[in-house]
Amino acid sequence: MSLTAITDAQVFDGEKSVGVRTVVIDGGRIVRVGGDAPQGSEIVDGRGATLLPGLMDAHVHSAPGSLALALRFGVTTELEMQGMNTRENRGHITDDDTVADVRSAGFGITPPGGHPSELMPEGFRPKWDLPPVMPLMPFSTTPEEAAAFVPQLLARGSDFIKFMIDDGSVEGHPGLPSLDQATVNAGVAEAKKYGALTVAHTLTVEATRMAAEAGVDGLAHVFMDQPHTAEIIGLVKEAGMFVVPCISLNASMMGITGSELADDPRVAARLDSAWDRTLRSSYNRYPQGRLDDVYDTVRALDAAGVDLLAGTDVSMPETFFGGLAHGASLHHELQYLVAAGLTPSRALRAATATTARRFRLGDRGRVAEGLRADLLLVDGDPTTDISDTLNTRAVWRRGTRLAQ
C-alpha cells in the first residue's frame, strides 16, 4: 500500500494541540508525525483543517447499520455497554473498514426483571437477526450467582464486565429489582481476580456510592437524581473511578430532544428518516431533573481531576430511545461537555486519549507513531470551537479513507 501524507493540518494528538504537522500513514498505522511528506506519497492537503484521532463513544448499544453511521461521523470506535458484539460475534467487524470498530460488555449483570427490561414497550422485539452466538444472559440475585457469571462472560468474549445498579426511580419504575451491595461486591471482586475492567450503570447518588464501595473501575453514567455534594465527588475521586457522564442521555431523560442537532445540515445530510425521527424525540422519563445540576456535577468532577469520558448511551432508531443517534450524538456530547465547563481540548481528550487509556486500548486514541491510523480531519479548529468537529473533511479507519 502506498504512503499517505496529511500535510499542513493543525494536529490535536489526543492530549494536546501540537501545531502544524505532517502525518504519514503506511497501511493501517501512523508511521510519522512531523517532518516532510515522503517522496511518492499520496498527499492529502490539510490546510485550514485540524487532524484528530478518530473519536470514541464510550457508551453505546449497537443496532443494524449503527457502526457504519458512527464512522460517517468520524467515530472510529464504539464501546458497547450491552449488546451482541462480543469477541465471538465481531470477526467481520474487525476487518471491515467501512464501519466503526467495537468492544462490548455483552450483557450486564442484573436481576431477572431488572434494568433495562423496563425500557422496552410490551411486545417489542428488535428488528434484526440474532448473532451466531447469543451472548450470555447473566441474571443474578445473589453474590454467588454474580461471581459465577464473571468467568463465563469473559470466556464468552466480553471485553469488560458491567453491573446494572438501578432501582428504576429515574426511569419511572420505582421498586425495580436491583443488585444489592453484596452481589455487586462479589461480582467486582471476582472480576478483579481475572484482571477484568468493570463498569456500572448508575443514575443515582446511591447507586454511585454502591459502585464506589465495590471498587468498580468506572461509571457508565453520571447521577441525575440530585445535585452533587463535595462528599460524593470526593468518593468518586478517592475510588479512582472514571465517569462517562452521558449528558446527552440525561437531557433526553429530562424531555430535551435532539431537534436542534437534527436541524444542523452537517447532521441532517447523514441521517435517514428513522434516525432523524429518533433524534427529534426524547426518553422523557425524568422531566423533574435539572440539566444545570448535571452540568454542575460534571464541572465538579473535572475540577477534582476525575477522568471524564465522552459517551452517549445511543441505541436503536426507535422514538422511545429518543434524542440520540449514533455518531451525531457523540458530537453533541462534546458540545454538552463544553457547556458544562470543560475546555474544548479537555472535551476532545474525553473522546480520544482518555477513553483509550481507561479502556486499555493502547493502539488508538492518539495521533502517534505506531498506533492505528484511525483519524478524523475536520475544517476549522475544534480546540477553540467544539462544533467544528462536525465539519468532516475526511475519516480514516485503519488507514483506509472512508468514501464520503
Q: Is residue 134 predicted with pLDDT exceeding 90? A: no
Considering the domain architecture, whether residues 46 and 104 belong to the same structural domain is answered as: no
Same domain, 387 and 253: no
Residues 350 and 368 in one domain: no
Residues 116 and 32 both lie in one domain? no
Answer yes or no: do 101 and 167 share one domain.
yes
* Domain CATH number, residue 73: 3.20.20.140
Contact call for residues 312 and 330 (beta carbons, < 8 A):
yes
Same domain (yes/no): 335, 204: yes
List CB contacts of 404: < 8 A, sequence separation 6 or more: 72, 392, 394, 395
Residues 12, 127 within the same domain: no
Strands (E), 177-303: 198-201, 218-219, 242-243
**Mean local confidence (pLDDT), 325-336:** 98
User: Residue 370 is part of which domain span?
Assistant: 1-54+364-403
Give the contacts of 345 (CB within 8 A, at least 6 positions apart): 12, 16, 17, 383
- Of 121, 116, 103, 220, the C-alpha closest to 171 is 116
Residue 133 has what pLDDT? 81
Same domain, 179 and 47: no
pTM over 0.85: yes
The 10s digit of each residue's pLDDT in 3-37 is 999 999 999 999 999 999 999 999 999 999 999 99
Cα(190)–Cα(146) distance, integer angstroms: 9
Average pLDDT along the chain: 96
Percent of the chain with pLDDT over 90: 94
CA–CA gap between residue 265 and residue 262 (Å, rounded): 8
DSSP 8-state assignment for residue 158? -
Q: Is residue 110 domain-shared with residue 13, that is, in the same domain?
A: no
Least confident of 47-56, 71-80, 119-128, 195-204: 119-128
Indicate whether 163 and 279 sit together in one domain.
yes
pLDDT at 1: 53
- Which pLDDT value is given to residue 117? 86
Return the CATH number at 27.
2.30.40.10
Q: Total structural domains in the chain?
A: 2
157 and 290 part of one domain: yes
Does residue 173 carry a pLDDT above 80?
Answer: yes
pLDDT at 375 over 90: yes
Q: Are residues 330 and 273 in the same domain?
A: yes
Give the mean model confidence (pLDDT) for residues 117-146. Answer: 85
First to last CA, the chain: 21
